[in-house]
Copies of this chain bind each other. A is one copy, B any other.
Amino acid sequence: MRATPAIDTSDARERILDAAVEVLAQRGYSAAGVQEIVDLSCTSKGSFYFHFQSKEKMVMVLVDRMSEKLVNKIHDAIRRQPTPVHRVAGGIEVLMSTFARQRKVAQVLLLNIMGHGKAVDKKFLPMRDRFAGLIQQELDAAVAQGQIAPQDTVLLSRMWVGSLQEVVLRWLLTGQPNHLTDATPALRSALLRSIGIDPAAIQT
């Protein structure tokens, strides 16, 4: 059995993805140079293009992985909640506290929405679609169980995603509110009211 190396045990592919998170969070997609990612990950251009078809594809992989991790985390956290509405309400809180703790995740997933020439734009969207789907699923369940009145859950789930993104974005860009989680209660209440639920009825 080989001894554990002193420093970086992960392979080049992982080191590149890790470095990409840093650089994307700090610079945004277009300004994130392959060279800088490669330097930070202590690999080489050749290695980069051995592991990834292109800068674009690499970002797709990264975003996919990050959003899947986030969705799984939320999934796990709300599994035990008694009702669909309890679950979405819980999901909001998990999402907010996760972004509050992992600023870089928020920066990569939310600050890099479109604005580029190629197809990359669309690669930052799946995360939003996935998250909207998660919400919609619970809202549909809530309708099916009679917890809320029938309504356009597709639209509502999108509105929720938009609301959440905007609040997090404001925090990222202006630092308001100081602690992102301070916004959670009011955010949660407004979202619940928007589907006709009295916030007071839902305990966290």
Residues in chain A within 8 A of chain B (CB atoms): 27-31, 111-118, 121-122, 125, 128, 151-152, 154-156, 158-167, 169-170, 173, 176, 183, 186-187, 190-191, 193-196
Q: B111, B156, B167: which contacts A155 (Cβ < 8 A)?
A: B167
A170 touches B158 (CB 8 A): yes
Interface SS majority for chain A: helix
11 A-B pairs, CB-CB below 8 angstroms?
A27-B117, A30-B116, A31-B118, A111-B121, A112-B115, A158-B163, A162-B162, A162-B163, A162-B164, A163-B166, A193-B194
How many whole Å from A20's CB to the nearest CB in chain B?
A: 15
Q: With the chains together, A102 CA to B120 CA distance in Å?
A: 25
A162 to B115, CA, bound (A): 17
